[in-house]
Chains A and B, each alone.
Chain A
């Protein structure tokens, strides 16, 4: 039963050629159908993964940079706000002082004006009163004179009076 195993006795060399042709054809088919596209896909995937790792790394760095920038910006804006508040305070202080000074000056001026006015009015009032007194005196005097003029006995008194008035005016 093992007779065909004797080398050269039962070997069919045609088969050998058939196998070689068959196998080469098979290799070509496998290459076209599967090997090329699949290895290409595997290579693409490997590239993609390494790219993804790289891009993840770079975007992580970018994010860290951004955080750094944000923090710096935040710190600077905080100090800026502090400066603004300080300026505002100083300005407010200055303005307050200015206003107070202004108000004091104004009040002083007003007071002086008022005093002047009062003085003026007092003078005016005095002048008026004096004029009024004079007028009244004259009126009274004239009335008295009109009534008493008839009495000739009073004539000497009136004369002396008028004389006294004249002296008073002269002095």
Chain B
């Protein structure tokens, strides 16, 4: 998996990983294709594609409604919806497509099997939570919340923000990364001693692939759920 040489390039003084850029672009195109093809011919009586899309929207809205009051959901609905599709497709991508360059560097895999991706999304969620808190409660009340129930609590509050950022990002990364890594290891086992190991390893590989697909869906769900929880925490005044 990520143990081979890593293909990188420099642009505007920043280092980019080719695998991340390519994989993200693939997922980007998949998401656009998904919403494009399911949102044609919208009608009062929904047809196949529209039904699917509406089910998905209801699903992500349902996740958000679990923690955010319905009247305050507003734009978070779009955020949760896009985040869920993007993460779900990212998690599943590497299970089915894993491409490498001739020199061994991977170029297409799950974008979420790299911590930079998941931490970016985690940071984005927490920034959005801060922004939502400030725009709803104002600076004073929002930052006053850090000093509840008493002033020294500010240390724990800030530390909590940091751990939220890390756990939210690293949870999904860990699951997807380990899933892909185990798939690679099982595959190496399968090709190590010819037909005998192949017979044993291929069913194992398929089972693990199915399980990883399930875990990918669960992790996307968990990520959106926790995002909505973090956002909702910033929307209310602590007692």
Contacts and interface: CB of A to CB of B under 8 A. Distances in A.
A89 interface: no
A41 B44 contact: yes
B14 A17 contact: yes
B27 to A, nearest CB: 9
A143 interface: no
B17 interface: yes
A35 B28 CA distance: 16
Contact of A23 (B15, B38, B114, B124): B124
A29 B81 CA distance: 12
A6 to B, nearest CB: 10
A151 interface: no
A26 B31 CA distance: 8
A44 B124 CA distance: 32
Contact of B20 (A1, A12, A27): A12
A14 B53 contact: no
Contact of A16 (B2, B79, B83, B120): B120
A26 B57 contact: no
Interface stretch (B3-11, B156-164, B198-206, B214-222): B3-11
B14 A4 contact: no
Contacts of B121: 19, 23
Contacts of B25: 22
B197 interface: no
Interface of A, secondary structure class, is: helix
Interface string A1-42: 100110100111111111110110111011101110111011
A96 interface: no
- How extensive is the interface on chain B, given as a class? 35 or more
Given A14-B14, A22-B28, A34-B35, A44 B44 contact: yes
Interface residues of A, number: 34
A48 B53 contact: no
Contacts of A5: 115
A4 B6 contact: yes
B57 A39 contact: yes
A13 B15 contact: yes
B227 interface: no
A12 B8 contact: yes
Contacts of B35: 29-30, 33-34
Contact of A38 (B57, B114, B120, B124): B57
A31 B78 contact: yes
A70 interface: no
Interface of A: 1, 4-5, 7, 10-20, 22-23, 25-27, 29-31, 33-35, 37-39, 41-42, 44-45, 48
8 contacts: A14-B12, A19-B24, A19-B116, A27-B82, A30-B78, A34-B38, A37-B42, A41-B42
